[in-house]
Amino acid sequence: MTDAVIGWEQTSPVPDGTYFNAYLNVRDGRLYFEDLDLAQLFLGGGPDQGVGRTLSSPLEIVYLPVIRRQIERMEAVFAEVRAELGYAGAFLYAYASKANAAEEVIRTTLSAGAHHEMSSTIDVDIARHMIRRGLLTPDRLVICNGFKPAGSDYATNLLRLRADHERLVPVIEDLGEIAPFLTSGYHFDVGLRQKAYGANTSEAEIEAANSRFGLDVTQLWRAADYIAAAPNLNLTLYHYMVGSQLADPERFLAYLKPGIELYARLRRRYPSLHIFDFGGGMPVAMTLDFNFDYRGFARMLLQALQETCRRYGVPEPDVMGEFGRYTTAEHGAHLFKVLTVKENKSDLPWYLIDGSIMSSFPDSWALGEHFIVLPLTHLDKPFQQVQLGGITCDSDDVYPPKKSTSPLYLPVETDDLYLGFFSIGAYQEMLGGVRGSKHCVLPEAFELIVERGENGRYRFDLLPGQNAHDVLANLGYRV
């Protein structure tokens, strides 16, 4: 396996006009996020971008146009392949909200036309809020994953939400979850989740899999029979999620094939079933070496569904994906300033930044996850290989991750050197805790929400971070 490419990998300056990916590019020695000069946010000067003042680091960037772009791209991919193959079913894009539940994110996914997926009782409150604002419209499916046993707050809250939204689809994870919906007095379309997470390529492997998610094959048929006999329940969706960030299209499809087979068998007995939900797993570029053939995967998936459904004599299903990381990873960035350089007799100099890496990006130290790191300034100057240290006193507050062999290069010039971590918009803020107490009692950074109008002009909303009083009060100190 080759090393992940996390940034510029040469000692020479970055040529002007370089595009690192679809949205990060270099102009006059500075890094731009599409057309937004990131260094100008801190240094000022140049044409007015509309922020109104210079900002301090650390700074979180929430770039909402990327979310719309991701949704539109995936919908276009499946539309092209469906037309090419003459595929009869629809494609349904759902946003998996656990990736990032921020108001501006969910508002943007809904305004872009996505269906909505959720997994907890607070998610139900968020959905109700979006319904009241007219953003979660009656035509949208709301897929209700997660454990929802009878009597739980989640199950009870879902029953209340049904009064406000008809297209609510509880996805059953356990046989004991059916009863509240059966006795609710409402009609419900329901789904069944297969125990499928992991590298299972046959029904026997599914049955033997160790997963806390979903029903085994025997339970699946029992639940389907139970639902079919219920006067107010209608089986419409089969959920078969096999993993996360599956970067090999052939392997992704191989894991899905047993579920495609089971869907066709279920559909033959239960004609109301019409949605094959492959859940999550769609990968996204976390590093600069990412390469995934979305169109090729969509073609293989729809062809497999066509062939299997033809063999069983059943209609081709509507296909749903639950896109969390894919939707939100690239819309988020976190910008820091390099405070000082310490040689410390190490092979590589330490560049120390004004924030915490491990608090801001928990997956980096917990899972060894890589993210893109690029300088905002001095890209026209020589580079050297370095290691980054956060401002905390924790030995794990470093980047690249401790076991990583990926090199990190940054400019030798460190006066007014700012840098950014990119592709951090999924899970990192939610795992680190929004408005929570951070490691080594660091305050939460300011957040700049970026929107772009049809005329190309930027609009900004600056959300304040925490000050010392906020941090102390959050920890119970009354000062």
pLDDT profile of the chain (479 residues), mean per 10:
90 98 97 97 82 90 97 99 98 97 97 98 98 98 96 96 97 95 95 80 64 84 96 97 92 95 97 97 95 97 98 98 97 97 88 92 87 98 96 88 94 98 85 64 85 90 83 80
Predicted confidence (pLDDT) per residue in 95-122, tens digit: 999 999 999 999 999 999 999 999 999 9
Sheet of 36-37: strand order equals 24-27, 30-33, 36-37
Write the CATH number for 280.
3.20.20.10
**Residues present in the chain in total:** 479
Q: How many independent structural domains does the chain possess? A: 2
- Domain annotation covers residue 16: no
Do the beta carbons of residue 82 and residue 91 sit within 8 Å? Answer: yes
- Domain annotation covers residue 426: yes
What separation in angstroms does the CA of 176 have from each of 22, 172, 179, 192?
A: 47, 9, 7, 12
Out of 323, 342, 371, a domain closes at 323
Are 205 and 235 part of one and the same domain? yes
Out of 291, 323, 355, a domain closes at 323
Chain centroid to CA 195: 22
Predicted confidence (pLDDT) per residue in 5-55, tens digit: 999 999 999 999 999 999 999 999 999 999 999 999 999 877 777 787 899
Domain boundaries, position 341: 24-64+330-474
φ and ψ at residue 2, rounded to 5 degrees: -80, 160
Spell out where 44-187 has E strands. Answer: 59-63, 91-96, 115-118, 142-144, 168-172
What 3-state class would DSSP assign to 170?
Answer: strand
- Domain annotation covers residue 10: no
Are 220 and 277 part of one and the same domain? yes
Are 37 and 95 part of one and the same domain? no
